[in-house]
A and B are shown apart, each in its own frame.
Chain A
Amino acid sequence: MASVGSRSGVAYDARGLVEPHAEMPGNIEIDGVRARFDAADLSIRQINMALRQLIYKDGISDVTVLNPASKHSLAVGILKRCRIHFEGSPGWFACGLIDGPEVTINGRVGWSLGENMMSGVVMVERSAGSLTGAAIRGGDLIVKGDVGARTGIDQKGGTIIVGGSVGINTGFMMQRGRQIICGNAGENLGDSMYDGAIYVAGKVKSLGVDCVPGEWTDADTEFINRKFRVHNLGAPPTFEKFVCGKQLHNYDSLEPSERKLVI
């Protein structure tokens, strides 16, 4: 592998102020369209700078980040199809706002994984903190272990798959999309949800306001089987489906642009 040297130089933010630690790391190994670097001694800014340089400017489509050491806000806002592998555990806010990347995380993740994710895949081998998939709009977010509270809060699309259990207020005010929970769910599942579906294989501690058991259809079976097959998750367990009772709000399921057409 060739080694890319340090691409130093003073960087400025949008206000014209000097950004600290804005020096490209000098330990990046590149092999064709693949690259890897050790993030143990790098700042958050350096790690994200390296990812952006490699993916957007150097034509790299497959990046491995070693030892992220629970640092926050890694791989946020990547808007291009590519593969990113984390060997280790990122901290909070990992992979937020991404649109396209396929991310694998061989470790654990802190709070707010994949917040506002638009498309792509994030696969976590271990557990994740609270607010996983908050306001996710698209793509597949898979956590093989347990997840904390408020999973998929304000979810607007996409699919969240949890191999273990989830905490309180999962699916709170979710508007679209699906959640597949293979373990147990905490209190107030689907509280005040507008739409979408939550599938739970284990026990549900309690349902939230206006969340009710839903009617199972062949489409549900097909959907779950396909997701498990695509992501190599093995045979799916038996799930119970929960949906919005549609008693709480006077609403419809149209997007604002669609509503204009109807009106």
Chain B
Amino acid sequence: MCGIAGVIHRDGTANIGAELTEMLQAMKHRGPDSTGYAVYGPDDDLVVIRFVLAEPSNSTGFGMEERLARNRLEVEARLAKIGAEVATVTSETGYAFRAKVRYSGELKPLADYLEDVPGCEVLSVGNSLEIIKDLGDAATVSEQYGLGSFHGTHGIGHVRMATESQVDLASAHPYWAYPFADVAVVHNGQLTNYHQWRRRLEQSGHRFQSECDSEIIAVYLAEQLTAGVSLETAMKESLDDFDGVFTYVCVTSNQLGIAKDEMAAKPLVLFESDDLVAVATEEVSIRTLVKREVETRDPYEREVLVWQV
């Protein structure tokens, strides 16, 4: 199952945190295990790093508080060591953190250096992208992370029904396109040539945080984008390279794209107006955003569409 959603405001910013929460909550029946967001706030000259230092299920217990505090200090020390000037580090949960830093270097060594800290996983890095994900439904995660007041131009979200990997943060969507700034992916479906592509991408130097097949899409697109391929072309090529049944949504700092596999086996509904594009697994999700009868359509097989902010 799983449900995916995306929204893009072409006429400025909106409360996309609240909008995506409503869209995702309407699809809770498609996956109550975990919920995730990739939202784009105002772009500034600081880099936002979202990272976790423990899985929620392991975040409490004997000595855990001290270990999290120690590892947080280690992350801050490593940020300073690699040349990132830390502006703020905040946490809503005790195990998930948001750092704003001034940094102009390469992202891969930064992410790799931080993830060398025990328990650390970098969820996202970018000037405007923030990936927030946790266990539970959208209302729970939104309240936990204060997403009800997150304003931005566009974002995507995912409700997960765990089928082929665990119920944990590492397997929750969205996935950051490591190590490419401001790119994220949500996916509904199964990739049947996962191990083939994972081996291939690992040989190219990419890292994987999970056993989830969806992570392949993010890393695959990252490699294509790094090579200078456009998002639309990369997504079209992915339809030939990936086997299985899938629909996915990819976002960059100024684009949102959808891709459907050659069997059109996984659902997606599209609504488009002059100022708004909304996509979701089910129309009932879009109806939370546009509270009237709307003209929607199901993209056909092998259809790739990309919109600009």
Please report whether the interface of chain A is mostly helix, strand, loop or mixed according to DSSP. Answer: loop
Beta-carbon nearest neighbor of B29 in chain A: A72
- State the Cβ distance, A147 to closest chain B Cβ, in Å: 8
- Tell me if B298 and A148 are in contact (CB < 8 A): yes
Tell me the chain B residues, 199-220 only, with Cβ under 8 Å from chain A.
Answer: none
Q: With an 8 A cutoff between CB atoms, is A110 at the interface?
A: yes
Q: Which of A72, A89, A150, A167 contacts B293 (CB 8 A)?
A: A89
Q: With an 8 A cutoff between CB atoms, is B267 at the interface?
A: yes
Q: With an 8 A cutoff between CB atoms, is B82 at the interface?
A: no
- Tell me if A91 and B301 are in contact (CB < 8 A): no
- State the Cβ distance, A45 to closest chain B Cβ, in Å: 13
**Which among B96-104, B129-137, B279-287 touches the partner chain?**
B279-287
Q: Which of B263, B286, B297 contacts A168 (CB 8 A)?
A: B263
Beta-carbon nearest neighbor of A145 in chain B: B297
- Tell me if A110 and B300 are in contact (CB < 8 A): no
Q: With an 8 A cutoff between CB atoms, is A102 at the interface?
A: no
> Given the complex, which residues of A lie within 8 Å of B296, measured CB to CB?
108, 127
Q: Which of A69, A168, A186, A187 contacts B284 (CB 8 A)?
A: A69
A212 to B158: give the CA distance in the assembly, Å.
Answer: 42
- Tell me if B284 and A129 are in contact (CB < 8 A): no
Q: Which of B284, B295, B297 contacts A71 (CB 8 A)?
A: B284
- Tell me if B282 and A110 are in contact (CB < 8 A): yes
Q: Which of B265, B286, B298 contacts A129 (CB 8 A)?
A: B298
Residue interface bits A90-109, CB-to-B below 8 A is 1, else 0:
01100000000000000110
- Tell me if B284 and A72 are in contact (CB < 8 A): yes
- Tell me if A149 and B283 are in contact (CB < 8 A): no
- Tell me if A168 and B283 are in contact (CB < 8 A): no
- State the Cβ distance, A50 to closest chain B Cβ, in Å: 19
> Given the complex, which residues of B lie within 8 Å of A72, measured CB to CB?
282, 284
- Tell me if B283 and A167 are in contact (CB < 8 A): no
Q: With an 8 A cutoff between CB atoms, is B162 at the interface?
A: no
A221 to B255: give the CA distance in the assembly, Å.
Answer: 49
With contacts A71-B284, A72-B284, A110-B282 taken as known, whether A127 is within 8 angstroms of B267 at the C-beta atoms is no
Q: Which of A69, A107, A111, A186 contacts B300 (CB 8 A)?
A: A186
- State the Cβ distance, A95 to closest chain B Cβ, in Å: 16
A146 to B297: give the CA distance in the assembly, Å.
Answer: 8
Q: Which of B262, B265, B295, B301 contacts A108 (CB 8 A)?
A: B295
> Given the complex, which residues of B lie within 8 Å of A129, measured CB to CB?
267, 269, 298
Q: With an 8 A cutoff between CB atoms, is B264 at the interface?
A: yes
**Total contacts A-B at CB 8 Å:** 62
- Tell me if B264 and A168 are in contact (CB < 8 A): yes
- Tell me if A89 and B263 are in contact (CB < 8 A): no
Q: Which of A70, A146, A148, A187 contacts B283 (CB 8 A)?
A: A70
- Tell me if B283 and A110 are in contact (CB < 8 A): yes
- Tell me if A149 and B300 are in contact (CB < 8 A): yes
> Given the complex, which residues of A lie within 8 Å of B293, measured CB to CB?
88-89, 107
Tell me the chain B residues, 263-309 only, with Cβ under 8 Å from chain A.
Answer: 263-265, 267, 269, 282-284, 286-287, 293, 295-298, 300-301
A2 to B123: give the CA distance in the assembly, Å.
Answer: 58
A188 to B104: give the CA distance in the assembly, Å.
Answer: 51
A169 to B282: give the CA distance in the assembly, Å.
Answer: 21
- State the Cβ distance, B27 to closest chain A Cβ, in Å: 11
- State the Cβ distance, A180 to closest chain B Cβ, in Å: 20
Q: Which of A70, A91, A126, A149 contacts B295 (CB 8 A)?
A: A126
A187 to B287: give the CA distance in the assembly, Å.
Answer: 31
With contacts A71-B284, A89-B293, A108-B283 taken as known, whether A148 is within 8 angstroms of B300 at the C-beta atoms is yes
**Residue among A71, A126, A129 having the largest count of chain B Cβ atoms under 10 Å:** A129
- State the Cβ distance, B192 to closest chain A Cβ, in Å: 18
A69 to B300: give the CA distance in the assembly, Å.
Answer: 23
Beta-carbon nearest neighbor of A89 in chain B: B293
A72 to B263: give the CA distance in the assembly, Å.
Answer: 23
- Tell me if A167 and B264 are in contact (CB < 8 A): yes
- State the Cβ distance, B116 to closest chain A Cβ, in Å: 46
- Tell me if B269 and A69 are in contact (CB < 8 A): no
A145 to B262: give the CA distance in the assembly, Å.
Answer: 22
Q: List 17 A-B contacts (CB under 8 A).
A: A70-B286, A70-B287, A88-B293, A89-B293, A91-B282, A91-B284, A107-B293, A127-B297, A129-B269, A130-B267, A130-B298, A146-B297, A149-B300, A150-B264, A168-B264, A186-B300, A187-B301
Interfacial residues, chain B to chain A (CB-CB below 8 A) = 262-265, 267, 269, 282-284, 286-287, 293, 295-298, 300-301
Interfacial residues, chain A to chain B (CB-CB below 8 A) = 69-72, 88-89, 91-92, 107-108, 110-111, 126-127, 129-130, 146, 148-150, 167-169, 186-187
